[in-house]
Amino acid sequence: MSENQYGQINSTSLLLNVQYAPKLPSVSVSPSGEIVEGSSVSLSCGCDANPTANYIWYKRTKSPHHERLSEEPQLVFNSTQSSDSGEYYCAAENQLGRRTSEDIIINVKYAPKLPSVSVSPSAEIVEGSSVTLTCSSDANPAANYTWYKENQTLTQGPEGSYYFNSISSKDTGIYYCKSDNRYGQINSLSLLLNVQYAPKLPSVSVSPSAKVVKGSSVSLTCSSDANPAANYTWYKENEDSPKASGQNFTITVVRPEHSGKYYCEAQNKRGRHNSTLHLTVVAVFPGLWKLAVFGTTPAVFLAIIWLSVLLLIKKKRSSKQSSEPGDRPDDREQDDLHYASFHFSNNQTDPVYSNIIPAVPRRQKEEEEEEELVEYAAVQFNSASTAPRSQETVEDPAALYSTVNKTTERNRNV
C-alpha cells in the first residue's frame, strides 16, 4: 500500500482472470451468395471462451459418428464439388468445456450429370404391350427432361418418363433423353427399343413372269416385315408337304404340271402370315422356238448360205471359161447333154423320131446349162437336213442318153 498527500493509503491493482467454458460458437460462409460447383468457399467458426477454445469441423452423416474434417477455425474448399453439399457444424472446446455450433448448410449448384435411362418391362417388348421409358440425372437445381427418337422430340417436362400405352412395330428405334438446368445440359446414352411382332402380309413375286414357258426356269420370291426375322416355307395348293424352304423357290425346268396356285408362309415365334400367287405354264410352237434359237445369229447364217452359193457358181463359170474350143466336147456330146436334160418328158413320141434332137444355138445352150447349175446348187444347199450328195452320185446324163440310144436302134432294126 502507499500513502497519498492527504495521508490516505491506496491499495495495489489486482487482475481478476475468470476462466469459463466456450460460449455458443458462431459460424459463417464466404462468399455468402450461391455456391456453384468449382468455386472457392470458406467456413469460419468463432466463440467466446477462457482459455481460448480449440475448434473442430464436422460434416453430418447418417452414421452416429460424423465425419471429422478439420481442427482449424476455418474450413476451406478450394474447388467445391457436388459431393460437398451437406450440413456442417463446428465444436469449440477448452479444459472447462465443449460447445457445438448450429448447423450451416452448404448447397453446391451444378449442371446435370450423365442421365441414366431404362425401359420397363426390361424383358422382350411385344407389339401391343405397355412400355415406359425412364430418364434420371443428378442435378442441382433439379433438371428438366426431354425424350427424343432419332432427333425427333417426343416429350418435355420435369418428369423423366415417356409412356407407350400400346406399342407398335413402328416404335422400334433408337431413343435418348436430354437433362438440363440453368447451369448446363447433357444427353444420355442411346437406348435401342426393339419391338417384336409377327410377320406382316408377305409380298410374293415371280421372275421372269407369272406366265412361264415350258422348259424354261422360274424363281418365286417371298418377303415379309417381321421381328425377329421370319422363316419362309413354300407350298402348292392341295399338297400337304412343302415344296421348298427359304425366301426363294426356283424351278429349273418348268413342266405343265407345275401350273397352279402357290403360297408362301412367313413365320416367327410371334405368329405367321401367308400370301398366294398363280403360276401358268404355256407351250411354245416348235417352229417358233427354233426360229428364236436360230434368230440369235441370223446375219451370220444367211451370209454363209449366200457365200456358199456364190462360190459354187463362180467355180462352175471359171471351169467353163478356162476350157478352149479345141478341148470342149463335140457338138454331139453337147447335144447329148442337152437331150439328157429333157429326157424325162411325159410326151410319148414315135420311136422312129426318138433320135430327132431340136437344134439349139450354142449360146442358148450355155445359158440354159448355167440356169440348171444354179438351180441344182440351190437344191443341194436346202437339203441340209439329209446327207449332201456328191457330184459322183448324180446320174450321168451321158448314161441316160446311151440307154435311149440303144432303145432307138433296136426300134429301127425292127
CATH superfamily of 26-109: Immunoglobulins (2.60.40.10)
Pick the CATH number of 116-196 from 2.40.128.110, 1.10.287.110, 3.30.390.10, 2.60.40.10: 2.60.40.10
pLDDT tens, residue order, the chain (414 aa): 555 566 666 666 667 788 999 999 999 999 888 999 999 999 999 999 999 999 999 999 888 788 899 999 999 999 999 999 999 999 999 999 999 999 999 999 999 999 999 999 988 999 999 999 999 999 999 999 999 998 899 998 889 999 999 999 999 999 999 999 999 999 999 999 999 999 999 999 998 876 788 889 999 999 999 999 999 999 998 888 998 999 999 999 989 889 999 999 999 999 999 999 998 988 865 444 444 444 445 655 677 787 777 788 877 777 665 554 544 444 444 444 344 333 433 444 444 334 434 444 455 555 555 444 444 433 333 333 333 443 334 444 444 344 434 444 444 444
Which has the closest alpha carbon to 89: 32, 34, 35, 27? 27
Rounded CA-CA distance 382/357 in Å is: 33
Q: Would you give the DSSP letter of residue 256?
A: G
Question: Contact 221/202 with Cβ under 8 angstroms?
Answer: no
- Domain segments of the chain as ranges: 26-109, 116-196, 203-283, 329-413
Three-state secondary structure along 130-141? CEEEEEECCCEC
Longest dimension (CA), the chain: 225
pTM of the model: 0.56
Beta strand 125-126 with 195-196 is: parallel
Classify domain 203-283 by CATH number: 2.60.40.10
Rounded CA-CA distance 243/259 in Å is: 14
In sequence order, what are the residues at sequence separation of 6 or more whose Cβ sits closer than 8 angstroms to the Cβ of residue 334? 328, 362, 365
Degrees, nearest 5: CA angle 310-316-322: 130
